[in-house]
Amino acid sequence: MNKSLTLQDVCILKDGVPLIEVNHTIQAGEVLTIMGPSGVGKSTLLSFITGTLPSAFLGTGQILLDSADITQKPPHARPIGILFQDDLLFPHMSVGANLAFGMPPGGSKTERRAKIDAGLRDVDLEGFADRDPATLSGGQKARVALMRMLLSNPRALLLDEAFSRLDADLRTQVRDLVFKTARERELPVLMVTHDAEDANAAGGKIIELRTLSKA
């Protein structure tokens, strides 16, 4: 089985006018960066891939994950992780419960707990399982969000301006962690950003977008 995320003749339209067109295959461990000013529809492209395209838009083309067509599948049946610029940890759950939420069901309580602890250890947050997410620093939250996503066993990773809220130091740190993990796990990564530094750090192919609709 070929590990990859393919956007095959994908086109997003609004009111019949194409906003964005992509035709590309991202291989395992590779990062595709889509760059462009805000408002060109980068995030809309991601919502098409997660299956949550707002009804005002129309998406055509196919999304293939590991060669299987997932275009018609509901969001929860697409094993694709996504990180936003905000950590979006669920505020009513502890750090551990946030991680458990993403883990596939099954296994005993102790086993699940062990997995959570191991996951936290991987991101240097050992012993944080019972903490309130609100008490964590920005970098810590970003790492929890990453680990929550990873524990759900995604087969591809989407990054929606994922680092833009972090300040410079932290940004490099978190970005390196994400890319390193993606490579280790052989995940195809699609990143949208308006930041050239992010694009360079990704080291993959870069698609620069301009507004198609305006002219």
Partner 1 sequence: MLRFLPALTLLAMLGPVVAGLWGTLLPAFGHLPSAGLFGPSLDPFRSLFAWGGLTDAARLSVTTGLIATALSLGIVALIAASWSGTKAFRILERLLSPLLSVPHAAAAFGLAFLIAPSGWVSRLLSPALTGWDRPPDLLIVQDPLGLAMIAGLVVKEVPFLLLMTIAAIGQAQPRRSLLVAQSLGYGRVSGWLKTVFPRVYSQIRLPVYVVIAYSMSVVDVALILGPSTPPTLSVQIVKWMSDPDLSMRLTGAAAALFQLALVIGALCFWWLGERLVARLGNRWIMSGNRGLRDTSVRVLSLGLGSVSAFAVFFGLASLLIWSFAAFWSFPNVLPDGFTMRTWGKHGPNAFATFGETFFIAGVAVLLALMLVLGCLEAEHRSGRPLSRRGLWMLYLPLLVPQTAFLPGLQTLLLSVGADVGRIPVILAHLVFVLPYVFLSLGDPWRAWDTRNAIVAGALGARPWAVFWRVRAPMLLRPILIATAVGISVSVGQYLPTLLIGGGRVSTLTTEAVALASGGDRRAIGVYGLAQTLAALIPFALALIVPAFLWRNRRNLHE
Is the CB of 94 or the CB of 173 nearer to partner 1? 94
Smallest Cα–Cα separation from 28: which of 177, 189, 205, 187? Answer: 187
Q: How many residues does the chain have?
A: 215
Query: Using the rule CB under 8 A, is 90 a contact of partner 1?
Result: yes
Q: Of the candidates 15, 16, 38, 55, which one interacts with partner 1 according to CB under 8 A?
A: 55
The separation between CA 33 and the C-alpha centre of its own chain, rounded to angstroms, equals 12
Smallest Cα–Cα separation from 179: which of 166, 167, 191, 168? Answer: 191
- Tell the smallest beta-carbon distance from residue 209 to partner 1 (Å): 21
Region from 17-25, 100-108, 187-195, 196-204 binding partner 1, contact rule CB under 8 A? 100-108
Taking phi over 0 as left and psi of -120 to 50 as alpha, with beta for the rest, 153 belongs to left
Give the contact letters, 115-134, x = binds to partner 1 (CB under 8 A), - = no: -----------------xxx
Query: Using the rule CB under 8 A, is 86 a contact of partner 1?
Result: yes
Element (H, E) at 32: strand 31-35
Query: Using the rule CB under 8 A, is 214 a contact of partner 1?
Result: no
Query: Using the rule CB under 8 A, is 107 a contact of partner 1?
Result: no
Region from 25-33, 80-88, 106-114, 121-129 binding partner 1, contact rule CB under 8 A? 80-88
- What are 82's strand-pairing partners? 158
Region from 21-29, 121-129, 149-157, 164-172 binding partner 1, contact rule CB under 8 A? 149-157
Q: What is the DSSP letter of 69?
A: E
Smallest Cα–Cα separation from 193: which of 42, 67, 12? Answer: 42
Element (H, E) at 179: helix 168-184
Q: Which residues bind partner 1 (CB under 8 A)?
A: 47, 50-52, 54-56, 74-76, 78-82, 84, 86, 88, 90-92, 94, 101-102, 104, 132-135, 148-149, 152, 154, 158
